[in-house]
Every structure is written in C-alpha cells, then in structure tokens.
Structure 1
Amino acid sequence: MPPGASAALVEALATGGAITGLRVRRFVPLARGPLGERLITVDQTNTSVVVGERVVVKWMRPVATPDRAPDLLAHLAAANFTRTPTPYAAVYRDEPDGGLAAVVTGFLPDAADGWDWCVDALLHQLDGGPPADLAGDLGALAAELHCALATPSEAIPAPVAVSHRDWAADGLAVLDQARRLVAAADDEDARWFTARVPRLAADIWRSREVDRAYVIQPHGDLHVGQVLRWRGGLAVTDFDGNPTLAAAAGGTLTEPAARDVAQLRTSLLHVGQIANRRTEGRHRPAVADWCRRGVDDLLAAYLRTLHERGMAHLFDERLLRPFEVEQECRELCYAARFLPRWRYAPMGVLRSWYD
C-alpha cells in the first residue's frame, strides 16, 4: 500500500468524504486527528499501518474465504463489548466481487501481544520475580467475549444455535493429517507420535458423547497472541479466524464455545514450552506446575464469568479435552506446512499428556 493511503482513508472516514474505488461499512464514528503514518513491522499475514498513533488500518490480502471479521466487529460494537480495539469501519473493494480491502480500528498504546507479555511474565517468575498469575484474567476475558457473541444484535439477530455435528469425525481427520505430516520427518518425535495415535484418537472420540451442542460464531483463532495487554488492561483482537478451521462450503463458521477455550488453554501450555526452551529446561518442574495451575485457573474464571452472566449453557466441558487434542494436532500440521521450528511446542504439550 503506497505511503499516504492509510492517512487518506482515515481522513475520508472522519470527514465523510468519498473514497475512490472503495465502499465503506461504518461501525463507530471516527473523529479527525493527526495523520502521520507508521508501519507495524512485526511478521503478520496482512499489512497494518498506525495513523496518528490513534488508528490502525489493516490492509487485507485477497482471500477466497468469506470475510467474517466485519460482521463480528459490528455485532460486538452493538453488544457494547469494549475489550477489543474500537472498530471504526470495514472497507471493501468497489467492484462486482469486491472483497474486504481493509479494517480500521483503534490503536492501543503500549500494547504487547500474549506471546510477549505472557512469556515475559513467566520468565520473570522463574527468575525470582512476582507470580505470573495471568490465567484467570484470560479466562474471564474469553467468557466476556463469548457472552457478547451470544447476545442478539442487528448484525447477528440469532447468534446461538443448536448443532448435532459429528465433532469426532472432524478431529479424527485432523489427527490423520498430523500423523502423515509428522511421520514424514522420520525422527524420534515422529516415532513417538505414531505410537500414540490410538490414544489420541480415543480422546478425540470422546466428543461423540455430545450429540447436541450450542454453537456461536466464535473468535475462531483464540490464542494468547490475540490478547493484547495495554495501558487500559487486556483486549482481544484479530477476528479474521483460523484458515484451518474454515466453515463448510463457504458458510458461516459456528462452533461450540469450547473450541475457543481449548485453543486458549493449549496456547497457555505453549507459553510454558517457550519458557522451557528459553531457559534450556532449567525450570521444568516449576513450569509444569505453572501450566497445570494456569489451565485450571483459566477454566475456573471462564466458567464463573459465564455463570454470573447467565450464559453457562454455552459451554459443554465434555468437548474440552477432545478439542484440546485436536488443537495440538492442528498445531503439528501448521508446523509441518509452514513453520517447522514450532513443532517443539505442541509436541512438548502432547508428551506431557501421553508420556
């Protein structure tokens, strides 16, 4: 995107001016302000530009899947969910098959994502610093998000449905993909994983105990990296979804709330794996204890918040472990296809469960 394009877009949104070649869907009014541009340089799929240190313009790569983020942002704004960067607008290419061109949201000062602040907190604890008691806050935030997603709005009038889907079939298919991709490495991890496939399959199969589940449009890719810590606390971001968890036939992605919770909990375990690697395994018992307490605290805070808001029916705990096992298989598939150096994290989690 050429220099000045993001500032011009923000100014047009603030003043109501025309934007050549684009059409706009507005969510929250945007006031005029400074227009200096700064590119966000961290590795990401799309290109993000900070404008005036107050607005972020995320320029989207063209994709074949439906653009789910605008509907979810409009819905969360209508539900008065404020623990996300303020959604200002979605901008589409003004052409017959024009897809999402950009999403414009508020900028959160001093924000760091969970792969930084969660890992740093745990490393500080291991180095004698204060306890990294962060899991409860993550669980409460996830519950508040799900309650908002389950609240009717003009954008999504009927946000909760009942599904009789065969969750085990999906999970077993992911396990089979992981088995084939991991086996190709032909190393000790591959042999270990292959030998334990029957046990993983048995845990995934347990989801067949659930023949009826409430589903919502989930976050879809809820890991600690999507949780920003900034001056105002915690905020969840990036509703683009996980391309490995796509809706069937281009429809609307709906999942049990347990899907997001499973991914968030396993990402906390990945924080532990990262800490082990950075400390060369010197604190394995302490990290294992932190992980055990963390996933329990996260779930307890999540369930407590759901109950306080009258939404306890959204969560079926019987789906949690099957979805967690499936998630680690998805992580192995991702590592094999895109980021081989990441394999140690899900493999380490699986070894902690099945050794």
Structure 2
Amino acid sequence: MHLSKAQCQQLLPLSRADLINACSDVSVDFPISDSAGILVFESGNKNFVAPYVKNREIRRAQSKDAVTAQLLSNPLPDGLRTTMQSGSYSQERFISVDQSNESVILDESIIVKWQLTAQKSIGAHKEEILTENGFAHLPELLGNIYWDEKLLASVNKYIPGTTDGWTWCVDKAKASDLGPWLVNLAHLTAEMHRCLEGLIHGDFHVGQILKTSQSDQLWVIDFDGDPLATAEEAIDPLRDVASMCASFFHVGAVTIKHGADPSVIKEWIVQAESIYAATYFEGNAFDVKALRALMRSLENRELKYADKFLPQWRYAPEFAISYMEELGYGSN
C-alpha cells in the first residue's frame, strides 16, 4: 500500500504529524474488519504504528471508531501476538493529555497504550521486571501486543478514579500540602529503583504518578524513558530524582498560572523538593549541588520539548529555569 505524505500525517496523533517528512512505500496491514485495522508504515527509518479506519480516506482511529475495542474483543490478526486473552469491549475513551504514545481506556476496565513507533521496548521490559519482583505500585500488567519482537501496544488494568500529578499534585500545591504523600512518593521511587535491578524509569515526573482522591496509594506508569538519554543517563537513579524534583517546579508554574500567590508557591516548591530528596536518600548525606545542576540541565531539554511538540507548555520550563537561576541551581 502506498501512502502519501498527507496520509501518513493523518495516521499519527496530531501533535506528532510533523515527524513525517515523506510518503511511505512500505507498510504492514493487520486488518480487523473491512474498514479498520492496525497499520505499521515506514517513514524516515521508523516504523510508525497507527490504529486506522478507512472509508474514502484513511485516517487514525478516534474513540468513536472503537478500533482498539474491536481488536481486543477478537483473536488477534495473523502476525500479531500477545500473552493476554481477548475479552469483550465496546466503549473507548482516549486520554487527552499530551503523550508520545496514545492511551485508550476500554470499558473503564483496561488501558491500552499504543506505541508511536514499533520497536523493541525497554518500557515493556521494565514493567515485566517490576511485575516479576513484586513492585506494588504498578497498575497490573495484563499483556503486551507484539509484531515480531517489536512492541505495538501494552495493556494494563485501569484504576478508576485516578488522576495524574498534573491534577492531584497541583491541588497539593494550591493547598500548600507537604504531607505524607511526599514521603510515600520518595519511598515509591526508592523501591522502584531496587526492583528495576540497575535500570531507572527514565522520564519520571508527577504526570507519571497516579493517585485517587480516596487514598494515598500511588501508582507509576509509562516506563519508556527518554529516547535522547545517553547510556549513562539511562541507568543513573539521580536522573529520576532530579526529574521528579524539577516537576515540582512545573507544578508550581501551573498553580501560579491558575492564580496562586507566587511567593507562597515558590516556598512550597523548595520544601517539597527538600522533603522528597531527603526521604529518598534516607536522611543520608548526598551531593545536593549535583542534584540541582542536573535539574537545571533537564530544564533545557524540557524547553526544547515544549518548543517542538507542545508550545503551550513553554511557560512551565521557562518559570522553572528562571526560578532555578534565582536559587543558584547549576551555578558554580
């Protein structure tokens, strides 16, 4: 099947369409009906993954199309494999926050995360290791969907009533809450690093932490990491700690944008960072300057990410960089 550049762009999430620079002459089609299926197409030496519908035109599937529900309600097409059993699903709901990958909730019971590109997945490997080691803060892994050895999608149990940290942690900041959740988050981080056996999360921030309003139980998601990280960065636990601490600055930026007192929020950020880091290191001495220098460095990447994929987010790393410089983070 030949795909024009415009067709390829229509098969990606809108915020990722600019990754396509040319047409595609190579594709693998896994049809699940006469008008829907899963397409893997090559562009720029990457195999992009696209749940699709096709009438007069081909486009990426939307929640109303229920393509993911159809896929998991029947035996998988030849060429795909999974360890999970098919069920019976009808309702789809997409998670609207910006993600490199696209998450779909089926019947409020399972969550399916479609990969942007088909490749061997370190994220799937990490979740399998965590599951084997009894890590209690991972939504139950139900299975992965593979094409050859390349991951197309992962399927986890959906935990109703959860929000990610861009909601619940913003509420904590608004209330100047420095309570037990910070200690719980630090303990989760340390336990995650122990269970990962030398690996790290790699893209660790409050948006990857789920919480319900009814309890202090926390869950961590999205282990794909940063594709731009070096081999050394990909195994350095301090990177996860720095990334989480930096995200408190982003929470502060969101809160101030919503009308909170900047001076109060700035104090909350510094205290939240201090409690979290001290708890993670179990009260032992650690290199605070190295941690803060890494936080400052990560903000440069965050700003570049916002410029490329999410310009409306630019205000958050801009605030973080400004406040970190005011605090002297990263300076000699």
Same fold (TM over 0.5): yes
Specify the alignment match of 1:99 in structure 2: 150
Residues 50-69 of structure 1 aligned to structure 2 (within 5 Å):
50-63=105-118, 66-69=120-123
Inter-partner Cα distance in structure 2 for 1:9 and 1:246: 36
1-structure distance, mates of 2:112, 2:184: 28
> Which of the two has greater helix per residue?
1
SS in 1 for 2:116: coil
Counterpart check, 1:276 vs 2:323: no
Q: What CA distance in whole angstroms lies between the structure 2 residues aligned with 1:33 and 1:66?
A: 26
Q: Structure 2 counterpart of 1:296, which letter? A: S
SS in 2 for 1:254: helix
1:316, distance to aligned residue in structure 2 (A)? 6.5
Deviation at 1:246, TM superposition (A): 5.4
Structure 2 alignment gaps of length 5 or more: 1-50, 54-64, 327-332
The question of 1:241 aligning with 2:225 is answered yes
Shift of 1:101: 1.1
Q: Find out whether 1:339 has 2:331 as its counterpart.
A: no
Distance 1:287 1:254 in 2: 31
SS at match of 2:235: coil
Shift of 1:19: 4.4
Unaligned stretches of 5+ residues in structure 1: 151-215
SS in 1 for 2:154: strand
Deviation, 1:245, is: 2.1
Alignment of 1:109 onto 2:164? no
2:140 corresponds to which of 86, 108, 127: 86
Q: Percentage identity across aligned positions? A: 31
Post-superposition Cα deviations, 1:57-98, rounded to whole Å, max 9, x if no partner, equal: 2222225x642111111101100012111111111124xxx6
- The answer for the alignment partner of 2:128 in structure 1 is 74
Whether 1:292 aligns to 2:274 is no
Return the structure number with greater relative CO, CA threshold 8 A, min gap 6.
1
Report the AA paired with residue 142 of structure 2.
Answer: Y
Task: Provide, for residues 31-74 of structure 1, a one-character-per-residue CA deviation record: whole Å limited to 9, x for no partner.
Answer: x76523222241333332222322112222225x6421111111
Contact 1:4 1:37 in 2 (8 A): yes
- Residue of structure 2 equivalent to 1:226: 208
TM-score (norm 1): 0.65
Aligned to 1:20: 78
* Per-residue CA distance 1:153-185 (angstroms, 9 max, x = gap): xxxxxxxxxxxxxxxxxxxxxxxxxxxxxxxxx
1:70 counterpart letter in structure 2: A
Q: What amino acid sits opposite 2:103 in the alignment?
A: S
Q: Which amino acid aligns with 1:346?
A: P
Structure 1 position 347, deviation (Å): 2.5
* Deviation of 1:342 (Å): 2.6
Change (3 A) 1:18 1:290: closer
Aligned residues: 260
More strand by share: 2
TM-score by length of 2: 0.69
Deviates more, 1:112-121 or 1:48-57: 48-57
Q: Name the counterpart of 2:68.
A: 6
Aligned equivalents of 2:267 and 2:275: distance in 1? 12
Aligned in 2, Cα 1:87/1:300: closer, same or farther, shift over 3 Å? same
**Alpha-carbon distance in 2 for matches of 1:261, 1:20:** 43
d(CA) in 2 for partners of 1:18, 1:337:
35
The answer for the alignment partner of 2:62 in structure 1 is: none
- 1:122-271 alignment runs, 5 A limit: 122-123=173-174, 125=175, 131-133=177-179, 134-150=181-197, 216-230=198-212, 233-245=217-229, 247=231, 254-271=234-251
Q: Distance in 2 between matches of 1:325 and 1:47?
A: 29
Per-residue displacement from partner, 1:96-125 (whole Å, max 9, x unpaired)? xx62111011101111010111112222x1
